[in-house]
Amino acid sequence: MTVQPSDASFAGATRYVLDEELAQIVNISMSLEMPLLLKGEPGTGKTMLAHAIAESLNMPLIVLNVKSSMKLVEALYQYDTLTRLNDSRFGDSRRDVSSIEAYIKMGKIGQAFTADQRTVLLIDEIDKADTDFQDDMLDVLDQMEFDIIEIDKTMSARHRPVIIITSNAKKDLSDPFLGRCNFHHIAFPDPKMMRKIIGVHFPDIHDDLVDNAIAAFYHMRELEAVEKRPATRELINWIRALNADPDFKPKRLTKGDVPFLGVLFKKSGDYERASAFVNRRKMF
Amino acid sequence: MFLSFFYKLKEMGVPVSPTAFLTLHRALANRLISSLDQFYTASRTILVKSERYFDIFDQVFAHHFQGSELPDVEGLAIDEMARALLEQWLKDPKAMADALGMDEDQLNRMTPEELIAYFKERLKDQDGRHDGGSKWIGTGGTSPVGHSGIHPGGMRVGGVSRNKSAVKVALERRYKDYSLSGPLTQAMVGEALKRLRNLLPAGPRDQLNIHESIYRTMKNGGEIEIAFDRRMKDRLKVILAIDNGGWSMDPYVSVVQTLFDYARAQFKEVKTFFFHNTIYDTVWLDAARYRKPVRMAELSRMDPETRLIVVGDASMAPYELMSRDGSIYVQGRSGQPSIECLRMLVHTFPHSVWLNPVSAAMWNYTRTIMMIRQIFPMFELSLDGLEKAVQHLMAA
């Protein structure tokens, strides 16, 4: 691409199949400088999208994996008291013990703010944290600055990062949070789209295998009362496994013989249900 | 610009905010949007914040920009019934005349439109479910309009099965909204399990948290501060009592069982009992409620720390709950009204909840739900309700 990074627009990446609608949404969010909230079933490529944006726009990617116990300040910066105590005791480092600033380490959001160039900041699985975390974080992202209390200093973003937020929750996030984001829901890809996605990952795989595997996969997905339904990631691993097995013949799938169920269903309850389902099919 | 589009969205129930609308205009002013297709994508991503409203958004968009019809929710249900009525009329004008309480001549003078108008009039007068009686539409009454009544002309409307009254079908569209927060389905099992995971006991704060202690001590500049965590006590026992009698509970029984099957490993033990409508002297271990009865007295000997979760719609005739021999099964009559049994259960198990698949908004319309609510803390059998129920069960 020859365009400047500042007004570059997103057009897909080597390992990501992008639909036009999503590309437009990403571009609008980037030019409006608003975070983009992505929802959808696990395995629909929410996280991959951020990787793809970073790759195609040539920006560094910073990933903040949200955990349930996480506090906002951890995502912003950390005051490394342990090192400072150590330095003051033994005094064998070049850091200045009397300056607290030398012991402030940037968290993921802090890194995105202080980076030399515009970055892509992926905030993954925001729904894991509590509502306070979510609202406070949006304040920071809205103002593009935060205070470091220990040294009484305000950090402002040098470049406004491209912010992608993902959520798996079926429950909605709080209203003030939603008000500050753009929203998109990534639907589970239909078999045609899935065919393309598989094509990107396995450029020279046998058509016969892919068609049968995809058909069997969508059939297995219809299974009800399953804790975690298999998604794109599982399908890709499954095809990899099928492909690696020299004894495997794609014809067997149509007859209801499904090997490597454990790749698709990872919870033991789900696995039992799935194998019962498969065996039933074999009988008829 | 697009003001009417914005208000139409609001009117149709999409929660749109003025701020988002202004953002959309910012996008327009920045020339980010140059075609209708782009406007569609942009306005949806900016205005609509949940996929649940995507469908309504699509309808409003098509209506606004292409002039397509917006579905008339109320009209649709009634028209369906009117069509069935008309068919009935064509098939058997005499029975129809009887049914509507007029003679055949009178009926023949009416145009189809007049007939339907008459029918709708009656339907709209009624604003609740109705059983028995002699005028309104419902089930089992003598009113001419409705079904399975004793009136010879009682007709079935809209091809309804015996289990659902005509009115229920007519009103079904109105419940559509509730389904957003509504009852648990098999597809939601994974999400519901996450709520259930919080059903863990908490012990006293007497376990040393070394990492936190070191961190706090460092923060204090070396002054030692010790942090304690809660200790996990033994895992919980759970009693699940499920109302599996009657069609109204059928869709939920398997969902609840699947849910607790998956969660089984998390508890010390899960016991499942069955009952119909309400609990008298006995509950059953088998779903047919026939082979393995368990007397109330045996239940009361169980560990009082056990969490009791009752799943049922709590909807029945008041006498089933209040009368001494209220059970609809003769052998189930124990001389003690069911409501006393329920009180005793709550007394035995201080940590108990009642999960009800009926939407909370409708609870005040059923007498027995109101009565049972006074005894059991009642929660909706939905994701939100489950979360609150777990909170309640874990509260000291």
The residue among A134, A164, A186 that closes a domain is A186
A32 to B27: CB separation less than 8 angstroms, yes or no: yes
Interface touch B26/A32, C-beta < 8 Å: yes
A105 and A208, same domain (yes or no): no
Chain A contact for B34 (CB, 8 A cutoff): no
Mark whether A91 and A66 lie in a shared domain: yes
Question: Distances from the Cα of A21 to the Cαs of A53, A123, B50, B189, in angstroms?
Answer: 15, 22, 17, 31
Residue B37 Cα, gap to closest chain A Cα (Å): 9
> What is the residue whose two structure tokens read 């007497």?
B206
Task: Based on the fold, state whether residues A158 and A208 are members of the same structural domain.
Answer: no
Residue B171 has pLDDT above 60, yes or no: no
Pairing of strands A104-106, A61-65: unpaired
Q: Which residues contact A250 (CB under 8 A, 6 or more apart)?
A: A206, A208, A209, A211, A212, A213
Order of strands across the sheet that contains B378-380 = B293-295, B282-284, B269-275, B237-243, B307-311, B352-356, B378-380
Residues A15 and A31 in one domain: yes
Each residue of B195-223: b (16+ CB within 10 Å) or e?
bbeebeeeeeeeeeeeeeebebbbeeeee
Q: How far apart are CA A136 and CA A58, in angstroms?
A: 29
Q: Name the band, by pLDDT with cuts 50, 70 and 90, for residue B91.
A: low
**pLDDT band at A121, cuts 50/70/90?**
very high
- Strands A36-40 and A104-106 come out as unpaired
Its pTM stands at: 0.58
Helix/strand/coil for A39: strand
pLDDT score, position A139: 84
Domain ranges of chain B: 3-66, 73-176, 186-200+235-394, 202-233
Q: A108 is in which domain, residue-wise?
A: 5-186
How far, in whole angstroms, is CA B386 from its chain's centroid? 12
Q: Judge if A23 and A133 occupy the same domain.
A: yes
Q: What is the DSSP string of B26-80?
A: HHHHTT---SHHHHHHHHHHHH---GGGHHHHHHHHHHHHH-PPPP-HHHHHHHH
Q: Which of A148, A163, A186 is the last residue of a domain?
A: A186
Strand partners, B243: B275
Indicate which CATH number applies to the domain containing A23: 3.40.50.300
Whether residue A70 sits in one domain with residue A197: no
Residues 21-40 of A with CB under 8 A from B: 21, 24-25, 27-29, 31-32, 34, 36-37, 39
Bridge partner residues of A37 (DSSP)? A165, A183
Across A171-180, B102-111, B174-183, which has the greatest mean pLDDT? Answer: A171-180
More confident residue, A121 or A172: A121
Q: What's the number of domains chain A is made of?
A: 2
The structure tokens 């109330």 sit at B296
Select the residue of A34, A183, A226 nearest B49 (Cβ to Cβ).
A183
Q: Are A44 and A154 part of one and the same domain?
A: yes
Residue B87 identity? E
Backbone φ/ψ region at B31: left (φ over 0), alpha (ψ -120 to 50), beta = left
A258 and A200 within one domain: yes
Of the candidate ranges B20-24, B113-117, B313-317, the one whose mean pLDDT is the lowest: B113-117
B186-200+235-394: CATH topology = Rossmann fold (3.40.50)
Nearest Cα residue to A182 out of A41, A27, A42: A27
Of A154, A186, A218, which residue is a domain's last? A186
A245 and A134, same structural domain? no
Interface size between A and B, measured as CB pairs under 8 A? 83
A202 and A232 belong to one structural domain = yes
Together in a domain, A223 and A93: no
Mean pLDDT of the region B62-69: 70
**pLDDT tens digit string along B222-259?**
788 888 877 666 677 888 888 887 667 777 787 787 77
Do residues A150 and A201 both lie within one domain?
no
